[in-house]
Structure formats: C-alpha cells, structure tokens
Amino acid sequence: MTAAVFFGCAFIAFGPALALYIFTIVTEPLRIIFLIIGAFFWLVSLLFSSLIWFTTATLIGNKDEPREKYLLIFGVLISVLIQEMFRFAYYKLLKKASEGLKTINPYEKAPSMRLLAYVSGLGFGIMSGVFSFVNTLSDSLGPGTVGIHGDPPQFFLYSAFMTLVITLLHVFWGIVFFDGCEKKKWYTLLVVLLSHLLVSALTLISPHYGLNLVLAYIIMVLMGVWAFFVSGGSCRSLKLCLLCQDKDFLLFNQRAR
Amino acid sequence: MVASTSASLRIDSRKFPGYELPAPGAPGHRDGARVGLEKPLPEKVGIEASAQLRGKMATAGGGCVADPGSRSLLRLLSFCVLLAGLCEGNSVERKIYIPLNKTAPCVRLLNATHQIGCQSSITGDTGVIHVVEKEEDLQWVLTGGPNPPYVVLLEGALFTRDVMEKLKGRSGRIAGLAVSLAKPSPASGFSPSVQCPNDGFGIYSNSYGSQFAHCRAFQWNKCYRDHNLSPNGSAPAFPLCAMQLFSHMHAVVSTVTCMRRSLIQSSFSISPEIVCDPLSDYNVWSLLKPINTSGTLEPDDRVVVAATRLDSRSFFWNVAPGAESAVASFVTQLAAAEALQKAPDAATLPRNVMFVFFQGETFDYIGSSRMVYDMENGKFPVQLENIDSFVELGQVALRNSLELWMHTDPMSQKNETVLNQVEALLSTLEQSGAGVPTVVLRRLNQSQPLPPSSLQRFLRARNVSGVVLADHSDSFHNLYYQSIYDTAENINVTYPAGQSPEEDLNFVTDTAKALAGVATVLARALYRLAGGASFNDTIQADPHTVTRLLYGFLVRANNSWFQSILRPDLRSYLGDGPLQHYIAVSSPTNATYVVQYALANLTGKVIDLTREQCQDPSQVPTENKDLYEYTWVQGPLNANETDRLPRCVRSTARLARALSPAFELKQWGSTEYSTWTESRWKDIRARIFLIASKELEFITLIVGFGILVFSLIVTYCINAKADVLFITPREPGSVSY
C-alpha cells in the first residue's frame, strides 16, 4: 500500500522476534550460531518438502483446479511433517554436539538444553516468518491494496499477524518438543505435530481470516503456557515476579543455602 | 536477501542505424518490446525479445518499485506452500493490480526549439479515478473532491483545448489523464494539429498541460462503478479505485539539448544512455522504366514525378490510422502505378515516370526534404534537373460532387517559363480527366498558396512545374486530420455485416470506385506527361486493387493478399487490425514494407528464379541488380491451403532513406530541415487497483510501532527476571521453607 503499511506490517510481523533476538541472542555468540543453524535446518526442511511437492506436481501432470487444491493441501501437510522431522534431527545433533562443546569450551558453561530449545525454536520461527511474509511485504510497498478482485482489504494486516503467531508458535513448539525428547515423553512430540498441522490447515481456509487468526492465537497462548511450565516457570514464580517480590525471594533463597 | 532481479533492467545497446538501404533479406534493426498494441513495435533495449516488436522500453520486473531482489530468490524456493495464502510471490501482486493492456500512451516529441507530448514522474503517477462525462464534472476534480490527486477519465468528445486549459496547471490535484475513444467520432471534428500544419517549419505548441494521457476504454468501468461512485455527490468511501500511469520520458527541452546529451553519453560512457532518437524511416520509390541506380541520370533524361505521402500521426503514440490524410492518397497512387505499368508502350515512352511515396511528411517534410537534399548532392539516381513535372496527390477521398481541385504555387508562376509549363501541365491533366466521368478536375479561381505538400520542398530548391491534386479547394474536408478518428469510417469504407474477411477483402466499396477514378485520371495524366499518346484511353485503374489495398491498410492487415506479397520473414508484421502509419524511429516500419511490396507486386513481374538466385542475382547473366530489385515473396496458398507457392518478383520498387538532413549535418537547431525527435523511455504502462485511506495506513503503522515497543519492553523484563521466572531443575537445594 505504501511505506506506512510496509513498516507497520513489518513491525507487527517481526517486532517480537526482533525483540527476542536483541535481548537474548545477540549477547552470546554461541547462541547466534545455534540460531543460524536452526534457521538453516528449517530452510533445508523447506527444500525437501518443496522437492517432494514439485515431483508430485510434475508426476500428476495436468493442472485443473481441484487437483491444484489437493496438491496444495498435500504439500502443506508434507511440509509440516518434514519440519518436525528436522526439528527432531536438530535435537539429535545438539545432543551429540553438547559433548563436543564441552571440549571446545571447558571453562565456560555450555548452554543448557532448555536454552538450546528456545534458540532453535526462535531460529525456526524467524526463518519461517521471513519466508512466508517478505514477498507479501514487498508487494505492500506499491500504491495499491488488495481488494480489486474481491479479496478482503485487510490482507496485509492478517498476513502480518499470522506471521507473528507462527514465529512465536515455533519458539514454543521448540521448547516443548526438546523437553519432550529429553524426558522421553513421546506424546509431547505428537501434540506438537498435531498442533502444527492444525495451525497450517487453518491457513488453508483462507477467506475466513478472522476465524483463522483467533484460533491460531488461542493455540499460541496454550502452547505458550505449556512452554512456560516446561521451562521451569511456575505460578508462584510468576506471582512473585509480577508483584516485585523477587528481591526478597532471592535473598531468602541465598540465606537458605 | 541478495538484491538481484530476475527481470532486471535491460541496458540499451542499440546503435544508431546506418544511413544505407537495408540489404535485401535484412529486416532492418529491431529490438524487442512489450506494448499491447496491434502494431508490433521495436524496443529500444538490446537484449531480448522477438524481432517483431518495437518500442522503447525496458520493463523493470513487475509493478513493485522496491526490493525486487528478494522476489527472485523466493520464486526459486517458492514451490513450497508452507503457509498457504501467505507465501505466494507474485500472486499477491495479482490480487492487487490489474494491468491495462489495450492502451496507447502519449509520448514526448521534440524539435529544434520545443517539446510536445506527455510525461509522468519516474515512479509513475497515481490518482483516484474520476470520470468526467460533462464539463460540470470537472468541478469535482478541480475543487470539490476530497481525495486528490485524481486521474481524470475524459470522454472522447471532451478532449478539447478548453477542457485541457482548465486542467492545466492544477498539478496538485490532477495526477494524470486518460481519454476514452468517442464512439461515434465527435461530430464537430477533432484534430490535434494546429491551424496550419507544417507551417513553413513546424507545429509549434508548448508542452501540453496534463501529465500524460492514455486512450481507449478499458476495465475501469467495473472498478469505478463499484468503488468510486457515491450517491448524492458526497465523497465516496475508501477503498477507492485508482490508476497509476507510467510514462517517464528521458528527453527534455528540445532536440538540440537531447541530441547533445546523447552525444556526450555515447562519447564518454561505456554504456551510453541515449535519450532521444530522430524520427526516420524510408521513402518508397519506383520507376516505370528501370535505370541504373549505381549512377545518376544524364541531364537529358526527363522524369515525371508522381508523389504522395505515407504517414500520419495522432496525439497518441503509434496510433495513426490516417485514412484520409495518407492511406487514400497512397492507395490511389499504387493503383495508378499498376495501371500505367500495364500500358503496352510503357517501356518506350520518351520520359520516365517516378512514383515516390514520402515518409515523414507530417513532421515537417522529413522524407521529401531528404530526397531533395540527396538529389542536390548527387546521392540519388534522379537529379533535380531531370524533373520535368511534378504531380502530387493530397487528400483525395472526401470529394464533394466529384470535384478534384488542382492546386499550384502562385509564387513560382511569376516566372514566365514556369507559368507556361504549369499551364501545360494543368491542361494535360484536364484532357486526361475528360475521359473519366467520375472525376471533375477544377482549377482554382483566385491565386491561392499550395496546401501542405511535398511539392513545397521541391519548390524551395528549384522552380519545378508542379500541381497538387486534392479534394478541397480551401480548407480541408477532413474533420479528423491527423487524429485517432481518421479511420475507415471517415472515408466511408464500410462493409456489409455478416461477411467473412475474405469476402470483405474483395468487396468493392464506393470509396474504392471513386478512388479508382482518381487513379485512372492520374495514370492517364502521367502517361501523357511522359509523352505517350496512343493508349491513353485504355489505361484504367482497377477498383478491385484499390479495395483490397484499402481493406488491408484500414481494416485488417492480415489478409490473404497481403500475406502473399510479403517476404516470408515479414509474415508476422501483419496484425489483425489496421496498420498504423506513424513514422516512428525504427525502420522500416510495417507499413513501409507493405507499401514497398505492394508496389513491387503491382508494377513488377514474377520471374523464374530459384530462391538462391533471387536473393543473389549476380550469378544469373540475364538479371541486373542495379536495374532491378529482386525479392523472394511468400506467394499465395496452394490449392490444398497447406503450403505457399513462393516466387521471385522483379521490380523497381526500392526504399530510400528518409532521415532529416539536419541529423546528417548535425544541425540540430536547424530551421531549414525537420528536427523532430522522439524521446526514449523505459516503462510505459498503466494499471488500476484499490487504494486504502490514509487513516488506515497510519493506524497500521501505529499498531506496528506499538507491538514493537511492547515486545521490546516485555522481552527486556522477562530477560531481566529470567532467573527468577525459570527455575532450573538442577539447582541444588531449591527453596526449602
């Protein structure tokens, strides 16, 4: 639409990711590296799923409307599966690498698996958000807005919010997933996979953006809560933090040792 | 993201075409292009595209101005549809813009001292569409409307000087102008020419007020009606339908300036950016009896010249139907050439006859001034001394009650000899016209100057005895002189409904019969002037030829006859609509080729040579390349309609360069010769889309900032309190109360 919409949507979609990056990742070079590797793993998963989609499309051959749609749905589902597979692969890699990290850096504490889960989730989320939104964002710079063929005119806003929710969801999925792998709770992986499938499937009902977004945000909140508890938070620590009683808590903690 | 564009800006590497005749078999220099007009146009940019197209643009990969770099990479990987609906590359662009294909832009033309035409800003001009159907609607645009700037959509009949004067100077409120063709043509006439076209030197007009203009009706209808119309004259609500027009011209001020800049560029720059090109093309000429073109004629050889013009123009680029201004005249002359060639003693007449079709006469006599210049400098086989008399065809299709007026120049007749010669010329014409009942030749009563005609350029150089035949005695009968409405309907070339194209091709209209009468008079007059006497009354122009020519040039170029007379590689120059007769800057144009090949077909002979011999007749002892021109043409379809029967045609129809001598002599500010040039451009197109209100955009921006700031704050807080919030399970001795 114009520069205003461009910047507005860019900030909406990438603002939280940028904030997370600035405050948590940038300070430590090792975290940056793991973030980039995570992003790379997501890219490779995208490559594989696109190869599969492409070969299927070529094999099927003719391009009539219903087939295109089914091909799309198929592509989406395969892609979700492959992304989760690559998340698992990254987990395995990190597990193996943590031994090696200790030898590289014996004096510094290696990042914990929980931190790595968060970093990998953020890597996946940032890359996924960038890929899904940058194209649309570049079209928003022109003078026109969506709608001449009857599509809803808030297309850019919807896309931006959707990108935001997907990014955050990847972070939470990463945390939950790695925790499930660590504690061998395999049902966690299944839940992550299913919720990812659900969110992606929701995007396929494209004209009803509102419903789509609301459901996605609900899922995000639920996953967020789960991730919070998984990473060591608790209602008590939250209450203490919010009521600014943490100072007493710490002192008390230290005294108790 | 790496910033590389897939459809990257193409660098223009077209060199200035040379001044020599195009070699047989070479179509002249053409580049690719991209305009959705029926006439294929060469592009100014060297790199790609078919040899058919012509134009001066390099497209910059779609409509978006910024960040195209990411798009190409994303396209590579965008087979993946991860989040359907959010990752679809240029299908988002398709949701936003509708490109307008059937439009004709108005471009900038420059001459020695001024520029005319239209211009947009380099990023295109955007405005909310507003349709102006009557003059009162202008008020909304000029003062009332709350959402400037506007793109005004004028009905064709309102495209007049008064309306333009009102719109001029309000560039804050008006972003652009589009004109829809009036159907039927405006009754009061429409002509963008000045009162006196080609006045001694030039159609001087200041640069026209509006930003730029496109024409023809298009899909604005639905978009406008759905979004921009509001009841009761209140302001319509956003989103509104808007149009963006791109036609940024590179040349400014005048030819002197733009040629100087181009020269500096080509001298000092590795990849020079030429900003304008001279209007140039080729004249078509042929002789009744062949002469050796490698030398010049002896002074004793006398030649009768029959001349007419080939081109026309209109306000919009490359739209020049020119039915009455040019087509009718040259079709008549083609028919006369055919008729004269059929005379039994044509090869033995005392004087030769030269038929010449001048290109570029609309723009201060480019073709005729160049021919006179070449004749004076010995570069043309016929010299000025050889010219015995000069008969020119002006506009001949709108005759009132069969009258054809003979215009002569009063100034040169002050000389006694010239007076006698002209008198003899006029009486010869009248004698020839006596035998043709459908044409009544009339002399002018009072001494009146010549109408705009190529004869004027010849008279500037030498006192030739000449006459201009026209259908008007004082002012033009053509209400649409040099405008977009000068089409077949203007000269009453209409066909009954329900016929196939082939039937239309062969249907003899009344106009064709009338023009055939004029052609007969012309042919007989030329026969007499060339010294013939015996077969005068048998010379007759064929209305069938005339009607086929009219159909091909004015209605549909892609017909069986035109296809059969062209070379095989020029087949695609014939579109499904009429040919346009604008001179343009790449040569030869489609129309020039078709006229040359039509002349060759009508006056030449089919000879029995193979293709290789035809393309290089120097090997064949009986044929002489200096005397004749040999072309290998497609020929008609065979009986099964599967294949063509090509043949070799030998004729004297040739092309002669029509580039103003001002450019040869590098006198860009010349007042002696035409200095018209056409600006170059990169991108000419238009598109429509919806625009949102400024409030919505602002809200989006504020929301974005808000979310960014909020997330920064929250993240900082969580990060600061992280060790409190997230208790690591391995911490020894956790809280023990």
- The 10s digit of each residue's pLDDT in B69-115 is 455 444 434 334 344 344 444 688 888 888 888 788 888 888 888 88
Q: A70 CB near a chain B CB, below 8 Å?
A: no
DSSP B123-178: T-EEEEEEEE-SGGGHHIIIII-SS--EEEEEEGGG-SHHHHHHHTT-TTTEEEEE
Q: For residue B125, list its beta bridge partners.
A: B245
Backbone angles phi, psi at B610, to 5 degrees: -80, 175
Assign residue B405 the CATH number of its domain: 3.40.630
Grouping H, G, I as helix, E, B as strand and the rest as coil, residue B681 is strand
CA proximity to B577, closest of B102, B55, B104, B38: B38
Segment B154-176 shows an average pLDDT of: 79
Low-confidence winner among A9-18, B59-68, B352-361, B728-737 (lowest mean pLDDT): B59-68
> How many independent structural domains does chain B possess?
3
The closest alpha carbon to B471, from B571, B403, B563, belongs to: B403
Answer whether B697 sits within 8 Å of A138, measured CB to CB: no
User: Which residues make Cβ contacts (< 8 Å) with residue B2, sequence separation at least 6?
Assistant: B69, B73
Strand bridging mode B240-249 / B125-132: antiparallel
Are B588 and B632 members of one domain?
no
Q: Which residue has the tokens 């001349």?
A: B307
Same domain, B577 and B556: yes
CB B594 within 8 A of CB B571: no
Q: Which of B427, B555, B539 is nearest to B492 (CA)?
A: B555
State how far residue A220 is from chain B, nearest Cα, in angstroms. 16
Residues B437 and B308 reside in one and the same domain: yes
Handedness of CA A180, A184, A188, A194 (dihedral sign): positive
- Both tokens of residue A116? 């790595």
Q: Which of A15-24, B76-85, B481-490, B569-578 has the lowest mean pLDDT?
A: B76-85
Confidence of residue A91 (pLDDT cuts 50, 70, 90): very high
Asked if pLDDT for residue B488 goes beyond 80, the answer is yes
Closest CA to B683 of B24, B62, B261, B51: B62
Q: B145 to each of B232, B233, B242, B247, B692, how far by Cα in Å?
A: 13, 10, 14, 25, 16
Distance from CA of A146 to the nearest CA of B (A): 4
Give the pLDDT confidence of B382-410 residue by residue, as tens digits: 999 999 999 999 999 988 888 999 998 88
Q: Tell me the helices (H) and strands (E) count for chain B, helix number first.
A: 19, 23
Contact A232 B729 (CB under 8 A): yes
Task: Give the Cα separation of B2 and A75 in Å (integer).
Answer: 27
Please report the pLDDT score of residue A107 as a whole number.
Answer: 75
State which residues form the domain around A113. Answer: 1-147+156-253
Q: Quote the number of domains for chain A.
A: 1
pLDDT digit string (tens) for A24-73? 999 888 899 999 999 999 999 999 999 999 999 888 877 677 888 888 88
Q: Distance of CA B605 to CAs B355, B398, B600, Å?
A: 17, 33, 8
| List of residues 6+ apart from B641 with CB closer than 8 A | none
pLDDT for B18 beyond 50? no
Count of Cβ atoms closer than 10 Å to residue A41 Cβ: 20
Of the two residues B447 and B466, the one the predictor is more confident about is B466
Contact status, residue B375 vs residue B382, Cβ threshold 8 Å:
yes
- Nearest chain A Cα to B732, which residue? A257
Distance CA B146, CA B133 (A): 19
Chain B residues inside the 8 Å CB shell of A2: 697
Answer for the pair A193, A84: CB distance below 8 angstroms, yes or no: yes
B2 touches chain A (CB under 8 A): no
Please give the single-letter amino acid code of residue B610. T
- B613 shares its domain with B597: no
Are A132 and B86 an interchain contact pair (Cβ–Cβ within 8 Å)?
Answer: yes
Which residues are registered as beta bridge partners of B174? B150
- Residue B618 burial (10 A CB sphere; 0-12, 13-18, 19+): exposed
Average pLDDT over residues A192-218: 88
pLDDT-derived band at B480, boundaries 50, 70, 90? confident
Residue B661: asked if its preceding bond is cis (omega within 30°), the reply is no
- Cα(A207)–Cα(A168) distance, integer angstroms: 23
* Interchain contact B688–A (C-beta under 8 A): yes
Collapse the DSSP code of B535 into the 3-class scheme (helix H, G, I; strand E, B; otherwise coil) and give the result: coil
Looking at the predicted structure, is the pLDDT value of residue B194 above 60? no
For residue B472, give the nearest of B438, B448, B436, B437 by alpha carbon.
Answer: B448
Taking residues B231-245, what's their average pLDDT? 80
- Domain co-membership, B613 together with B538: no
Which residues pair with residue B109 across a beta bridge? B116, B678
Q: Kindly report the three-state secondary structure assignment for every residue of chain A.
A: CCHHHHHHHHHHHHHHHHHHHHHHHCCCHHHHHHHHHHHHHHHHHHHHHHHHHHHHHHHHCCCCHHHHHHHHHHHHHHHHHHHHHHHHHHHHHHHHHHHHHHHHCCCCCCCCHHHHHHHHHHHHHHHHHHHHHHHHHHHCCCCCECCCCCCCCCHHHHHHHHHHHHHHHHHHHHHHHHHHHHCCCHHHHHHHHHHHHHHHHHHCCCCCHHHHHHHHHHHHHHHHHHHHHHCCCCHHHHHHHHCCCHHHHHHHHHHHC
pLDDT at B722 over 70: yes
Distance CA B278, CA B17 (A): 11
Indicate the residue type of B453: S
| Nearest Cα residue to B439 out of B308, B540, B327 | B540
Q: Residues 509 to 548 of B: which have CB under 8 A from any A CB?
A: none
Burial grade of B368 (CB within 10 A; 0-12, 13-18, 19 or more): buried
| pLDDT of B547 above 90 | yes
**Confidence tier at A206 by pLDDT (50, 70, 90):** low
Contact status, residue B163 vs residue B208, Cβ threshold 8 Å? no
Q: Are A240 and A249 in contact (CB under 8 A)?
A: yes
* B48, part of any domain: no
The pLDDT score that the predictor gives to residue B678 is 92
**Is it the case that residue B193 has pLDDT exceeding 70?**
no
Q: Average pLDDT over chain A, rounded to whole?
A: 88
User: Is B70's Cβ below 8 Å from some Cβ in A?
Assistant: yes
Contact A29, B719 (CB under 8 A): no
| Residue A115 backbone phi and psi in degrees, to 5 | -65, -40
Question: Is the predicted pLDDT of residue B684 greater than 60, yes or no?
Answer: yes
d(C-alpha B283, C-alpha B380), whole Å: 12
Strongest mean pLDDT among B199-208, B221-230, B399-408 = B399-408
* CA distance linking residue A205 with residue A213, whole number of Å: 11
pLDDT grade, residue A247 (50/70/90)? low
B181 lies in the same domain as B327: no
Whether the bond into B588 is cis, omega within 30 of 0: yes
Is pLDDT above 50 for B51? no
**Crossing angle of helices A29-60 and A113-139, rounded to 10°:** 60
Q: What is the pLDDT of residue A173?
A: 95
Of A2, A12, A233, the CB nearest to B697: A2
Q: Which of B582, B569, B558 is nearest to B50 (CA)?
A: B569
B83:A12 CB<8 A: no
pLDDT confidence band for A22 (50 / 70 / 90): very high
Q: Are residues B210 and B308 in the same domain?
A: no
Residues B315 and B376 in one domain: yes
pLDDT band at residue B525 using 50, 70 and 90 as cut-offs: very high
Give the Cα separation of B527 and B521 in Å (integer).
Answer: 10
Of residues B225 and B231, the one with the higher pLDDT is B225
Query: What residues in B contact A132, CB-CB < 8 Å?
Result: 82-83, 86-87
Lowest mean pLDDT among A81-95, B98-112, B462-476, B563-577: B98-112
CA B560 from chain centre, in angstroms, equals 24
Residues B348, B295, single domain; the answer is: yes
Sheet holding B387-393, edge to edge: B440-443, B403-407, B466-470, B387-393, B303-309, B352-358, B280-287, B654-659
What pLDDT does B37 receive? Answer: 36
User: How far apart (Å, rounded) are the C-alpha atoms in residues B245 and B163?
Assistant: 20
Residues B369 and B512 in one domain: yes
Q: What is the band of A248 on the pLDDT scale with cuts at 50, 70, 90?
A: low
The one-letter amino acid at A115: L
* Nearest residue of chain B to residue A164 (CA atoms): B707
Token readout for A164 is 């935001």
pLDDT, mean over chain B: 79
The CA–CA distances, whole Å, from B290 to B536, B571, B624 equal: 21, 28, 10
3-state helix/strand/coil string of B482-506 = CCCCCCHHHHCCCCCCCCCHHHHHH
Establish if A25 touches chain B: CB-CB under 8 angstroms.
Answer: no
Query: How far, in Å, CA of B546 to CA of B331, rounded?
Result: 6
**A113 CB near a chain B CB, below 8 Å?**
no
The nearest CA of chain B is from the CA of A36 a distance in Å of 15
Q: Is B98 on the interface with A (CB under 8 A)?
A: yes
Predicted confidence (pLDDT) per residue in B304-353, tens digit: 999 999 999 888 888 888 899 999 999 999 999 999 999 988 888 999 99
Residue B29 within any structural domain of the chain: no
CA pair distance B494, B511, nearest whole angstrom: 9
Cα(A25)–Cα(A2) distance, integer angstroms: 32
Closest CA relative to residue B337, chosen from B596, B535, B567, B510: B596
Please spell the DSSP secondary structure of B687-727, one letter per residue: EEEEE--HHHHHHHHHHHHHHHHHHHHHHHHHHHTHHHHS-
Phi, psi (rounded to 5 degrees) for B527? -60, -45
Q: Locate the DSSP E strands across B339-386.
A: 352-358
d(CA B292, CA B628): 8
**pLDDT score of B197 more than 80:** no
Buried/exposed B443-478: b ≥16 CB within 10 Å, e otherwise: eeeeeeebbbbbbbbbbeeebbbbbbbbbbbeebeb
> Cis link prior to B149 (omega < 30° from 0)?
yes
Average pLDDT of the segment spanning A221-242: 86
- For residue A189, what pLDDT is reported? 93
Tell me, yes or no, whether B308 and B419 share the same domain. yes
Residues B542 and B475 in one domain: yes
Q: Do B84 and A76 touch (CB under 8 A)?
A: yes
A54/A71 Cα distance (integer angstroms): 10
- pLDDT given at position B24: 39
Residue A18, pLDDT > 70, answer: yes
pLDDT at A1: 59
Chain A closest-CA separation from residue B613 CA (Å): 49
> How large a percentage of chain B has pLDDT more than 70?
81
Give the model's pLDDT for residue B52. Answer: 32
CA distance A27 to A29: 7
Write out the residue range of the structural domain in which residue B644 sits.
Answer: 606-651
